[in-house]
Amino acid sequence: MNPTPPIIPDLSSLRASGGVDEGRRRFMRNSAAALAFVSVPNPIVTINGDEEYEIVHKNVKLPRLPKELRGLRVVVVSDIHSGPFMDKAQMDRYVTRINKLKPDLVLLPGDFVSNRREEIEPLCDAFQKLEARHGVYGCTGNHDYFDDADHVVNELEHAGVRMLRDAHARIEIKGKELALIGVDDIGQGAEFHASFRRAVDGLDARLPNILLCHKPYHLEDAADYGAGLIVSGHTHGGQLVLARAFGLVFSIALLISKYVEGLYRVDATQMYVTRGIGASAINLRVNCPPEITVLTLV
- Are 183 and 212 in contact by the 8 Å Cβ rule? The answer is yes
- Interior/surface letters 81-103, b for 16+ CB within 10 angstroms, e for the rest: bbbebbbeebbeebbeebeeeeb
Identify the pLDDT of residue 248: 77
Cα distances (Å, whole numbers) of residue 37 to 30, 34, 150, 249, 283? 12, 6, 42, 19, 18
pLDDT in tens, 66-109: 999 999 999 999 999 999 999 999 999 999 999 999 999 999 99
pLDDT value for 51: 56
Does the domain spanning 11-297 belong to CATH 1.10.3720.10? no
> Of 14, 13, 19, 281, nearest to 148 (Cα)?
19
* Rounded-to-integer distance, Cα 112 and Cα 141, Å: 7
Spell out the domain ranges in the chain: 11-297
pLDDT digits (tens, 9 = 90+) for 243-260: 877 777 887 777 778 899
Burial 167-194 (b: 16+ CB within 10 A, else e): bbeebeeeeeebbbbbbbbbbeeeebee
Give per-residue pLDDT as tens, 163-200: 999 999 999 999 999 999 999 997 755 689 999 999 99
pLDDT of residue 294: 98
247: number of Cβ within 10 Å: 11
Angstrom distance (rounded) from CA 50 to CA 242: 21
pTM value > 0.85:
no
The percent of residues in the chain predicted with pLDDT above 90, rounded, is 70
For the ranges 2-6, 152-156, 207-211, 218-222, the lowest mean pLDDT is seen at 2-6
Mean pLDDT of the chain: 84
Residue 277 has pLDDT above 60, yes or no: yes
Note the pLDDT of residue 257: 82
